[in-house]
Chain A
């Protein structure tokens, strides 16, 4: 096509020229242009290559429905592929590039895919690469994916910010055309909180720029109860009248201004919704209908009226309804010559005839365009006589020269949002279109989206819908005056013509331009039995591209209906899914990215750890010190040193992340006795007890110590990972299962800082810093809990040991955490006291054979882990009944044992245990390794694991194999109590 800029007209600012580049070549446009209109004005007609066949493609539309003109906007970190040139607002310095072509847009090697056309017909991939030839897919996938596709995304992090907004309103009006404007005006007159959103750069729809629309919008803008959102696409309709919208705050400029987000995501909860989403023109298909230069008729009008751009020098029109004559009139007014009007109808109304006569075009009634001619661009059309029953006739084709063909096949109401929140779409036979179905949420439709195409009727319908929506909110709208629009004499009721090709017509006839689905693909799908609308869609990929088939769905259904000899509503339609148009991931992610993806929890001593060289590691949301490396120590060297020092003297570890739950009430002991598998009724005040919690299905769930602080108050600790789930379970049991128990539970994890002081010198260290506690074995025996003070600060001290050494846990108020921590370490200086991290904590507990997360994996029972003695037989508790199931008492279950490396090799967690002489491939797994460490106490690599007949195999030699890394380690099965099995060290 040979588009050019008209010398006057359009809503562009000719005083503000803008410079931009497409594929590296510089052009000039004006403020008010889109990228599409500016390129069209510069005579550019080749915008991209098609998805499968790499055919040259040009502009097809002037809006969001564009299937062809997809470009990559910007470059580097801001590169955005598959952007529709028709909705990109031009700005100075804009850079865009074409896609899916190599080496260049004009000469594309992959265009030879066209020659291999039959290969790429519907179902090609399934047929060729499934079954016996499936292996071929592996070989060809790379090349096929490279050849077929769209633009490439960037791998660089997005430099821009995205905002989230939650909005609540009485009435949300989607679409600010004639119907939407009046709906918002009517609803706002009642005082309702109204949001009016429209995807275009300015509100007004078809009235954009008109005096009446400006006046109307100015009136709305002056109201406090009205929010106007331009550049805002309402893309999804969700439950309970929640709608998702994206506002493009700074997408129409090169980069957002300081502090400005690129996009803002709106979650809008509306009491009532008015859908005034308009309609999209549909094409009629014919041979080679994808040739650059073939364009929707209304798009031609918009380029002329809105942008002052003529779509071609020799324009022809092809229509089956009066809508196209609006475009003819617009072109004529602007001085653009229309050479021929081909209309499938044998008769047209007086108004259309008058427009045709005024244009000077040759009017060809009862005829259709059967084929587009030309190479990389349109040079002419073939025209043949048309019979409403027989279709186009073969032979006697006439050729007409044209560089632009405006096509109008009628209107497809934009029912996407209505379909998302409503029943099946309704077929309207006279409009040959689907209309919104029954509303299943409080919305009502108005204007073109429900088939009303006449402006005056749209105004009235919008006003009525807005007033009804306000009334449904319990408000009283005032009557509004409707703009004086004359009833249109043009009728948009189309003559149903879908495929204008004669029986032996030439050329590919595209139904879905973006996915390269042709009319013959639909015939093929029918022949092969993929006849239901759902099968048709998936087999041919019709309507599954990023445009969701906005210009192709109805035509596709019509062709299938023709094949099946059914009516279109009998074939049916698919339901639309969000989003209406593509939504950037940035807008959906909002602020939840990088370190803000989820909260970070830090203990009271966090800053101390970091200042003192701790390497921090994540444990769920928490950050915990892993090791405090000295000099160039490796991780293993650091934790070995730390563990050694604990056993030799004393060390301290931050245990603040353990879950802590305050359990209070007259029935607190009874409650704990029902949730733990071991007895808690007789736990005396001032004592702690290690408890096991089971799930109702009998498996082990969590463990921890619970301290009785008074007759009616307990402090429960849980593992770090289960802090929240255990609290939830306790709350649930109290609310739903045992509401009669007088117990309250509260999370106090954040309120307490906790530290474990471990090692033979721990008593001396604490005795020297505690103000008022007798730390002797008699005064504070094993598992004893005391309240005391440290430097005047209240603390809880419990004599508990996870390391097997003489050890204490000291808890204090969280804001005293760092002070207490520092004071204890200072007191420990004479003993060489060190802080230790979770690696050494793990080493010490593995040496003692204590279980932790890797053993409590949700598949183990108390008996599996050697803890059967802790499951009471005398009482009922959560999990006790299911614990006796056959599967849970099966002697063949894997049991916990220890392993030492026999060959000095490091044992990997997750390694499988196999017999040394098992040569089968793969060898039979006898169990697996759960936790591993180097043991400084044993000076060997050791591990815990679960093994068939575990305890009976002590002394056996096995292989711990890790085939993913090809690592085999010879191990010996030992007791899981590697170090001080009698527990003598912690009882001193």
Chain B
């Protein structure tokens, strides 16, 4: 079981959290301007990288706040935890493949 450090509550067991999928997926600001294919890309398609993945987590059984996590999908190592709305820390994806 992973141990995840909630930025608000500290280190807690994975079972308290809910994974919210890939991070930095921005909802279109001008919805009418998008083609069907672009909508499909936004709604349905997500990256599934081997190595560095930026994803959203919610501390469902705790403070219920959302935050971002940089995780290595091979080792499951959590490389960074950073707030919603901020840019990911500088991590070289090639290091984690």
Flag if B34 contacts A731 (CB, 8 Å): no
Shortest B86–chain A CB gap in Å is: 11
Confirm or deny: B60 has a beta carbon within 8 angstroms of a beta carbon on chain A.
yes
> Bound complex: CA of A728 vs CA of B17, how far in Å?
12
Residue ID in chain A nearest B4 by CB atoms: A240
Residue ID in chain B nearest A737 by CB atoms: B27
1/0 per residue, CB under 8 A from B, across A739-760: the answer is 1000000000000000000000
Chain B contacts with A in 46-91, Cβ cutoff 8 A = 56, 58, 60, 64-66, 75-76, 84-85
Confirm or deny: B20 has a beta carbon within 8 angstroms of a beta carbon on chain A.
yes
Q: How many chain A residues have a CB neighbour from B under 8 Å? A: 21
Given A728-B58, A731-B66, A736-B84, A239–B2 Cβ distance below 8 Å? yes
Flag if B75 contacts A440 (CB, 8 Å): yes
Chain A residues, CB < 8 A from B43: 696-697, 882
> Bound complex: CA of A697 vs CA of B39, how far in Å?
9
Confirm or deny: A537 has a beta carbon within 8 angstroms of a beta carbon on chain B.
no
Confirm or deny: B45 has a beta carbon within 8 angstroms of a beta carbon on chain A.
no
Confirm or deny: A876 has a beta carbon within 8 angstroms of a beta carbon on chain B.
yes
Across the A-B interface, give the 3 residue pairs with the lowest CB-CB distance, nearest first: A735-B66, A240-B3, A737-B27
- Most B CB contacts (10 A, CB to CB) among A238, A697, A732, A881 go to A881
Confirm or deny: A880 has a beta carbon within 8 angstroms of a beta carbon on chain B.
yes
Given A732-B20, A876-B31, A269–B66 Cβ distance below 8 Å? no
> Bound complex: CA of A731 vs CA of B27, how far in Å?
15
Confirm or deny: B32 has a beta carbon within 8 angstroms of a beta carbon on chain A.
yes
- A–B complex contacts, Cβ < 8 Å, 27 sampled: A239-B76, A240-B1, A240-B2, A240-B3, A240-B76, A267-B1, A696-B43, A697-B43, A728-B18, A728-B60, A731-B58, A731-B66, A732-B20, A732-B58, A732-B66, A735-B65, A736-B20, A736-B56, A736-B66, A736-B84, A739-B84, A739-B85, A876-B31, A876-B32, A880-B31, A881-B34, A885-B36
Chain A residues, CB < 8 A from B85: 739
Flag if B39 contacts A882 (CB, 8 Å): yes
> Bound complex: CA of A885 vs CA of B3, how far in Å?
42
Shortest B37–chain A CB gap in Å is: 12
Shortest A410–chain B CB gap in Å is: 34
Confirm or deny: A722 has a beta carbon within 8 angstroms of a beta carbon on chain B.
no
Confirm or deny: A242 has a beta carbon within 8 angstroms of a beta carbon on chain B.
yes
Flag if B39 contacts A881 (CB, 8 Å): yes
Flag if A238 contacts B1 (CB, 8 Å): yes
Shortest A578–chain B CB gap in Å is: 12
Shortest B79–chain A CB gap in Å is: 13
1/0 per residue, CB under 8 A from B, across A225-267: the answer is 0000000000000111010000000000000000000000001
Residue ID in chain A nearest B25 by CB atoms: A736
> Bound complex: CA of A876 vs CA of B30, how far in Å?
9
- Most B CB contacts (10 A, CB to CB) among A735, A737, A882 go to A735
Flag if B31 contacts A881 (CB, 8 Å): yes
Chain B residues, CB < 8 A from A735: 65-66, 84
- Most B CB contacts (10 A, CB to CB) among A269, A440, A736 go to A736
Shortest A440–chain B CB gap in Å is: 7
> Bound complex: CA of A239 vs CA of B65, how far in Å?
24
**Inter-chain residue pair count (beta carbon < 8 A):** 45
Chain B residues, CB < 8 A from A732: 20, 58, 66
> Bound complex: CA of A881 vs CA of B42, how far in Å?
11
> Bound complex: CA of A880 vs CA of B85, how far in Å?
25
Classify chain B: how many residues form its interface, as a range. 20 to 34
Shortest B60–chain A CB gap in Å is: 7
1/0 per residue, CB under 8 A from B, across A212-232: the answer is 000000000000000000000
1/0 per residue, CB under 8 A from B, across A690-701: the answer is 000000110000
> Bound complex: CA of A728 vs CA of B66, how far in Å?
10
Shortest B82–chain A CB gap in Å is: 13
Shortest B36–chain A CB gap in Å is: 7
> Bound complex: CA of A862 vs CA of B27, how far in Å?
23
- Most A CB contacts (10 A, CB to CB) among B18, B27, B32, B75 go to B27
Shortest A777–chain B CB gap in Å is: 41
> Bound complex: CA of A267 vs CA of B1, how far in Å?
10
Chain B residues, CB < 8 A from A697: 43-44
Chain A residues, CB < 8 A from B64: 731
Residue ID in chain A nearest B85 by CB atoms: A739
Residue ID in chain B nearest A734 by CB atoms: B66
1/0 per residue, CB under 8 A from A, across B1-21: the answer is 111000000000010001010
> Bound complex: CA of A881 vs CA of B39, how far in Å?
8
Chain B residues, CB < 8 A from A269: 3
Flag if B1 contacts A239 (CB, 8 Å): yes
Chain A residues, CB < 8 A from B66: 731-732, 735-736
Chain B residues, CB < 8 A from A238: 1
Chain A residues, CB < 8 A from B84: 735-736, 739
Shortest B18–chain A CB gap in Å is: 8
Shortest B89–chain A CB gap in Å is: 18
Given A735-B65, A735-B84, A242–B56 Cβ distance below 8 Å? no
Shortest B54–chain A CB gap in Å is: 13
> Bound complex: CA of A885 vs CA of B1, how far in Å?
41
> Bound complex: CA of A876 vs CA of B34, how far in Å?
13
Chain A residues, CB < 8 A from B2: 239-240
Chain A residues, CB < 8 A from B65: 735
Chain B residues, CB < 8 A from A739: 84-85
Residue ID in chain A nearest B32 by CB atoms: A876
Shortest B50–chain A CB gap in Å is: 16
Q: Which of B1, B36, B75 touches A242 (beta carbons < 8 Å)?
A: B1
1/0 per residue, CB under 8 A from B, across A905-940: the answer is 000000000000000000000000000000000000
1/0 per residue, CB under 8 A from B, across A750-784: the answer is 00000000000000000000000000000000000
Chain A contacts with B in 793-819, Cβ cutoff 8 A = none
Chain B residues, CB < 8 A from A881: 31, 34, 39
Shortest A216–chain B CB gap in Å is: 32
> Bound complex: CA of A728 vs CA of B56, how far in Å?
13
> Bound complex: CA of A880 vs CA of B65, how far in Å?
27
> Bound complex: CA of A643 vs CA of B76, how far in Å?
56
Residue ID in chain A nearest B38 by CB atoms: A881
Shortest B41–chain A CB gap in Å is: 12
Chain B residues, CB < 8 A from A882: 39, 43
Chain B residues, CB < 8 A from A267: 1
Chain A contacts with B in 873-905, Cβ cutoff 8 A = 876, 880-882, 885
Shortest B97–chain A CB gap in Å is: 16
Chain A residues, CB < 8 A from B3: 240, 242, 269
- Most B CB contacts (10 A, CB to CB) among A240, A242, A440, A696 go to A240
Chain A residues, CB < 8 A from B75: 440
Chain A residues, CB < 8 A from B31: 876, 880-881
Shortest B55–chain A CB gap in Å is: 12
> Bound complex: CA of A238 vs CA of B3, how far in Å?
11
